[in-house]
Chain A
C-alpha cells in the first residue's frame, strides 16, 4: 500500500530513512507495543501445546511451563482423533461459507446504495442507521432477536393470538447457521460499508461523466466504472476474510451455544475456550488453537496468491 515511499529518489541508508520517517515511526509505536504485548508475546505460550501443562505445579503459571512435562505431539494426536474437534471444524467451515456467500456482498450493495444518495442529510441519516447496530453488544443483539423470533417472542405470540401455531427460530439447530448469518448481517453489514464508501469516494468523477457522454446508462456505469474501482478493495477484504475463515464469531456463538447445543453451535474458537478454560485442559486447547492458527496462515497465503494471479495487490507483495 505504501508504494509511493519506494519511489523516493534520495539515496537510502537505514539511518537516513529512520531519520526521515521518525515522526511516522513514533506515531506507530503505541500500536506496535500493543501488537507485541497482546499478539506476539502470547504466541510464546503455545509451547504448552507440546506439554502436559499444569499451571499450578509452580509458584505461577509462567514458571509452571518450565516444570510441566514435555509430551511431544501427544496433544495433537488427541485433538485430531477427537470427533468433537472435527465437528467443530465442520461447523466452522459451514459458517464461513455461508457468511462468505450471504454476508460479504451485502456491504458492497449497501455502499452502492448509500453512494447513490445525493442529499447529504438523508445520506448521513442512512449511514447512522446502518452503523448503529455495530455498537450493540452481542448480548443485546441476541436478546433482541430472541424477543422477536423466540418461542415467546413477538411474532410467535402474535401468531398464537390469532389462532396459529407459534414457532421458535432461536432454538432450532437446523436453521441456526442462517440465524447466525442473519444476526451478523444485521449487526455488522452497515459497518462494513465504510471501507467501500471510502473507495467509492476516491473514484474520479470525470470517469462517470465520460461514460455518460458515451451513452452508458446507470447500470453500465456501475459495471464499468464503479465495480472496477472497488475491485482492489474487494480483493483485499476477501483475502483477509479467507485468512480469518476459521474465526466465525466467538462471542455470538458462545452466547447461543446452550440454545441449540454444541452440535450446531460449536466452532473452533468455542471449542478451544470450552476445553481450555472450562475444563482446564490447557495443553489440549493450545494444540487445537495452534492447528487453527497454522491452517489460517495457510489459507491467507493461498488467498493472497490467488489474488496475485488475478492481478490484484492482495494483502502484500514481495
Chain B
C-alpha cells in the first residue's frame, strides 16, 4: 500500500469502486456561501433532521474555524482544484513538530476501518509506535474493504459499535445515512468555531472538506479531504506505446480505432479494460459518485445524469468497445480479479482507476519489470478537443465517533485525528506514512525506503481517521508526483461544479432505492446483454416512480440553499 496515495482518494479496488459508483446517498448539507437558512426540508434547529440539508448561518455556526498551516512550501502548489505536490524528501533533522503536546490521555479505543489486502498483525511495532506518539491504545478492527458495506450495516445495527468508525461515501447506501445520524456523536461541541484551535492540524483542514462532514444538521464526520478533480484516470502502458509508436487518442473514434490496432487476441493482448468510467468523463456525463452530484440546473430545470443524451452516448460507445472485442474477456466476466493485474502483466494496455495507481503500480512493478512505465492520458473529448468534466466531492471518506462516547473517548479520538492530519514535512506525517526509522524504513541517498516490516505494517488505516489538505508526495518518484499533480491541474481546468457540489444531502427515505438498479443496467448494456432502449424504459419508469418528485424536492432544496456551482 502506498503511504501517500490516499490523499487523492482511497486505495480502492475495482469492486469497491463499483460500490462507490452505485451508492452515494448522503446525509446533510452545508453550503459555505452564506445562503439563507433552510426551513423547507426537515426541522432544523438542534434536534437534527431526517432529510435535507443544513446551510448558511446554521452551517457557519457549526463549522470549525480555518487556520492555514504550511510547514514546507509545496514544490508544485495546488491549482485548479489539484492536490499540492511534494517532490522532495525532508531529512529527519529538518522535520517540524506539529503536535507539540501529546493530546491522548492514554485511553483504549476501538477503531473500525476498511482494509484492502492483508491487515497487519495486532499489536505490531508500527501500531505501538503510533499509539505511543499519540497517547492512546487503539484496537484496530480492519474489515475487508470490498464488502465493507455489509459489515457496516450489521455493526451499526448492533449495540456494540466501535469508538471510531470509518465510513467511505460509496458505502452510504440504503439506510446507512439515517444510521449515521442515529449512531454517531455530534463533534460540534469539540470543534465548532474556535474550539478546533485546540487541534491545529484539524483547524488546517479546508472548510469545504469539513462541510461534507455535516450529517443530520450536526458536525459528525472527520473528513479525509480530496481533490475535487475526477480521480478516475485512464492509464496506458507508456513503455509499450512508445515502443510501438502508438499515439494517444484525441477523440472517442480515435480511441476505438487505436484499441482495434492494439488488440491481438492471438497474442493474448487486449487494448483495454472496461472503460465505462472514462466514457462518462469523455462524454461529459454528470458525476455518478454521489446522488446529489448527478443533478444539475439547466435552463432553470434540474436534470439528472441518467436523463442526458451524453449518458446514453457514453454507454453506446463503451458497448462498441466490447462489441469490437478490444476489451479483455475477463473484464466481461468481472469475477476475475483486478484489471490492474492484467495491465501490469501486459494482457491489457489501458485501464482506468484511481489516480493513486500511477504511483502504486509503478512502485510495485519497479523490481519485477524495470522497463515497465505507465502514465495517465489526458481524458479526450468524445468529439475531439477538451471534455467537459464535472467535479467530485472535496471529501468522501469520514470517521465518526460513536454516540454516547464519554468525553475522554471523544478527546482521544480527536487526538488521533489531529495527529494523522499532520501536514507534509512534520514528524507526525513521517511516522504515519513511513513508521519508525530503522524498523519500518531506512534512509538511503536521502530518501526514506520502507523495509519489509514497513511494507507489512505501515497501513493507510490511520489516514482514514483524518487527513490534511489534499497533497501528493512520492519523494522516491518525484517525476510521477509532478505528473500526477500536472494531470490534475490540466483536468481541473476543464472541470465544472454541478449544482449540489460539496453538499452532503440526505434524500427522503422513500426515494433512496430509486437508483439501485441503474449500475447493473449500465453493465448489462455495455456488455451487450440489454439494449439502450431498456435504459430509456428504465429512465421513464424512474421518472414516474419518484424521479420527477425527487426533482421537485431537489429544486426546492436548491431554491432555499443556493448553489455552490461555479
Contact = CB atoms under 8 A, between A and B. Distances in A.
Interface of A: 54-57, 59-61, 64, 84, 142-143, 146, 150-152, 156-157, 160-161, 166, 168, 170-171, 173, 255-256, 258-264, 277-281
Nearest to A171: B332
A151 B174 contact: no
B131 interface: no
The 3 A-B pairs at the shortest CB distance, nearest first, are namely: A151-B329, A280-B174, A61-B157
Contacts of A168: 329, 332-333
Contacts of A64: 157
A55 B159 contact: no
B156 A152 contact: no
Given A56-B175, A57-B182, A160 B335 contact: no
A55 B159 CA distance: 11
Interface of B: 149-150, 153-154, 156-159, 173-176, 178-179, 182-183, 265-266, 268, 270, 328-330, 332-336, 347, 513, 516-517, 520, 523-524, 527, 529-530
B176 to A, nearest CB: 7
Contacts of A259: 332-335
B175 A166 contact: no
A262 B334 CA distance: 13
Given A157-B268, A255-B335, A261 B347 contact: no
B334 A279 contact: no
Identify which of A161, A173, A264, A280 gathers the most chain B CB atoms within 10 Å of its CB: A280
B331 to A, nearest CB: 9
A280 B175 contact: yes
Contacts of B176: 280
Contact of A263 (B328, B336, B513, B529): B529
Contact of B179 (A56, A146, A150, A151): A56
B333 A146 contact: yes
Contacts of B268: 152, 157
A261 B153 contact: no
Max chain B Cβ within 10 angstroms of own Cβ: one of A150, A171, A259 = A171
Given A64-B157, A258-B334, 9 more contacts: A59-B159, A150-B329, A166-B329, A263-B530, A264-B529, A279-B173, A279-B516, A280-B153, A280-B176
30 contacts: A54-B178, A55-B175, A55-B179, A56-B157, A56-B175, A61-B157, A64-B157, A84-B517, A142-B335, A146-B335, A152-B270, A152-B328, A152-B347, A156-B329, A160-B265, A166-B265, A168-B333, A171-B329, A171-B332, A258-B334, A258-B523, A261-B527, A261-B530, A263-B524, A278-B174, A279-B174, A280-B173, A280-B174, A280-B176, A281-B174
A152 B334 contact: no
A150 B333 contact: yes
Contacts of A258: 333-335, 523
B175 A171 contact: no
A262 B524 CA distance: 9
B178 to A, nearest CB: 6
A60 B158 contact: yes
Given A54-B178, A56-B156, A173 B529 contact: yes
Contacts of B334: 258-259
A146 to B, nearest CB: 6
A261 B334 CA distance: 10
B520 A261 contact: yes
A147 to B, nearest CB: 9
A59 B12 CA distance: 31
A277 B265 contact: no
Nearest to B15: A258
Contacts of B333: 146, 150-151, 168, 170-171, 256, 258-259
Given A261-B523, A262-B520, A279-B516, A60 B159 contact: yes
A170 B329 CA distance: 9
A261 to B, nearest CB: 5
A152 B153 contact: no
Nearest to A273: B150
A160 B267 CA distance: 9
Contacts of A146: 330, 333, 335-336
Contacts of A142: 335
A64 B266 CA distance: 58
A82 B156 CA distance: 29
Contacts of B265: 160, 166
A98 B179 CA distance: 43
B335 to A, nearest CB: 6
Contact of B266 (A54, A161, A173, A255): A161
Contact of A256 (B156, B270, B335): B335
A92 B516 CA distance: 22
A312 to B, nearest CB: 41
Contacts of A281: 174, 513
B175 A54 contact: yes
B263 to A, nearest CB: 12
Contacts of B530: 261, 263
B268 to A, nearest CB: 6
Contacts of B158: 60-61
A57 B530 CA distance: 39
Contacts of B527: 171, 261
B304 to A, nearest CB: 19
